[in-house]
Structure 1
Amino acid sequence: MSILIPARDEAHNLPRTLPGVLAQGAFEVLVLDDGSGDGTADVARRLGARVLTGEPRPDGWNGKPWACQQLLRAARSEVLIFTDADVDWHAGALGGLLSELTRSGADLLSIQPRQSNAGLGARLLTPLVDAAVLSYFPFPLTRLRHPMTSIANGQVMAFRRAALRSVGGYAPVRAEVLEDTRLAQHLGAQGFLVSTALGRACIGVRMYRTYPESVAGFSKNVLPLHFHSRPLLLLAAAGHLGAYTLPWLLRPGYAAPAGRPCAWPGCWNARWSAWLPVAAPPPTGRGPARPPHAAAGPARVPPRPAPHRHLEGPRVPAVTETPHTHQ
């Protein structure tokens, strides 16, 4: 398996994240320096990664799809894992990802990393990413082989090489801002299986440090996420306000007197959680210590299970720690 990192001006992130990636035991770790001006390539080489120098971007290509397309050409493995430079990979993360890839039979498995928001400014907005994904896209629907139910998170995407090459790599989404979800939809349209899992304690990310950074970052893809419809965007904003802000503004802890019905606005908070449609929480615990394919011995590319076994129940799967070494 190959871990592939497109990087532009990531010298401040790589000393924190790249050692964890290199410690996973992958066959190769490639960092593509996409025209950085802060010494990203030197930092990556010093830490031990193989560094590729990005080629000039052709007309009609956005930066990240072009960087990923170059990494696809350079990678030599049958499982290709694209990950952003700000993603933290903890011990056993690669083994857990491969275990879920094998179990799900997915052609594309994307991971929702656990958000790390150190400051109050980042906490105001960034946590809504997970809430939106897990609420708008119920997990059972994402298992359907249909483009409209296919989603992905570009922070961590694990492809089977044959599936990715069959759709032309990143070429179909060369000009897309939301290239991760669009690529998942292309795969779904071709009948490939797209799945997702939670990073939990194995894979995390620190996207932004302040509220202005969060606003600037999310503003790039918020409109594409809403099908370029401003009315839909406003409707979603009103829904978020009602779901995540309004309960805090109402009187918490109010209990209706005995024999009287619970009415607005007194115990709205108590009723809110009873009908708010959110995804089922991930299972607790660390999961199995070592799945069968990760037993002692050389690592193998996970085979596609036949026949495919669907998940049991509506819970979102999670990556759990599994030690893994390469051949």
Structure 2
Amino acid sequence: MTTQRFALGLAGLLGLLASTGCATPKIVEAPQTTLGSIVIYKNGVAYFERYADPKDKTLTLRVPVDRVDDFLKSLSIVDEKTGEPFPISYPTAQNHGDYVDMTIPLPDAPGRLKITYVTESPSWKPSYRIVLDDGGKARLQGWAVVDNTSGEDWKGIRVGVGSTSALSFRYDLHSVRLVERETLTSGEQLALAPPSGGTPYAVATRKVRVLGNIGAGDLAALDGRPIALETTVAAGADSADEGDDHGGGKKAGKVDVAKNRAGLDDHWFDNVRAQAGQHRIRVEGFAQTGDGDPGQASLERANKVKEKLVAMGVPDGNIDVVATGQFNREAVRVLATEQEVA
């Protein structure tokens, strides 16, 4: 790349001289515009100001792909008389090889347009000289060395240099950015509704299996050590084991119960994953003494266990979350049912 280097005299403030043309490819192709002025900063960017008197209903700027982000950050096109801004459209895919066409739709008979942007440019360098005249007096001169890599002729263009640093950073605004969103299932919707009468996990079939009861203390340690889990298996039940609540309620229905203490380890999660292949997994949250909002507290406890199950490989779509709002000795109960909950 050919670079045209020239110097600007500094007198108090920086004086301005003209540059000559250069043969480098143009950074911006804007045949409908004329370059007005430039301010070059010391941190690798420059401010460009252009003007246009368009005759068509659109104005197009061709910008290198690697500079599109600069233009999206800083490009401004306004009516010079009214100050009204104009929107800009551009394709997300590359166009014309290494360039992207940025198109500005214009109204009928638009006025003179002012186009400004900030893009990458070599930093200017200061230089100082002392000149002695015949009388022995010394004169200090300041010069600014500027590199013109824009590919445009700066002859007759007002060029300035800034001693301050304009905001300079790189940020990808051109790429299409898609963010994965969580899919809410009917389980989350059910969790927002108050529990209906009967047992908290009444289902259309009597085949309900309790995979485990998790206490409040163990729930608090869910992100840490293995959890001590009380497993209850109920078969052939008209209504499944509700557990003891703080109101002194009794266990309803005829159940065959087997209990043992076990760690909430990989084996337990493997079992839940296996159950999820044939059944729906139902996670019920219960209220505890001291809860200000029993329903919300129940929901948070159930969702905490659900998140752990999903992280351990249980399909999100196979899990229903229920906030019972009822007080119970256990904080969360995990069940497997053959059908959708009623």
Q: TM class by shorter-chain length?
A: under 0.3
Q: What is the TM-score normalised by the length of structure 1?
A: 0.19
Q: Which structure has the larger Rg over C-alpha atoms?
A: 2
Task: Output the TM-score relative to the length of structure 2.
Answer: 0.18
Greater share of strand:
2
